[in-house]
């Protein structure tokens, strides 16, 4: 029997650098909760993570669909 992993029900910072972070979160979650969770997981030491109005470097929109299914989206945040 194959076990299928379930997408997280809380936001997960799956990639981050000095200025940007990528977060996978439930599609129905508020931006405020997504930002708060990202700041708790990966504090910047400079300023808080905030959703930005720009595309990912791959050209995908912000937010964009998650490969796990329609219940989750990927968000781009900056500090």
Radius of gyration, CA atoms only, the chain: 13
Positive or negative torsion for Cα 65, 11, 37, 33 = positive
Tens of pLDDT, residue by residue over 16-52, are 999 999 999 999 999 999 999 999 999 998 999 999 9
The residues spanned by each domain of the chain are 12-78
Q: pTM to 2 decimals?
A: 0.86
- Spell 23-46 as b/e; 16+ CB within 10 A means b: bbbbeebeeeebbebbbeebebee
- Per-residue tokens: 45: 């030491």
Q: Residue 2's pLDDT is what?
A: 53
On whether the CB atoms of residues 44 and 27 are closer than 8 A, the answer is no
């Amino acid at each position: 029997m194959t076990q299928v992993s379930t997408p997280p029900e809380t936001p997960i910072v799956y990639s981050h650098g000095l200025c940007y972070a990528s977060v996978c979160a439930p599609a129905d979650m508020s931006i405020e909760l997504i930002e708060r969770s990202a700041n708790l997981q990966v504090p910047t030491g400079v300023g808080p993570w905030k959703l930005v109005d720009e595309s990912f470097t791959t050209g995908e929109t912000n937010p964009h669909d998650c490969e796990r299914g329609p219940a989750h989206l990927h968000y781009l945040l900056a500090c």
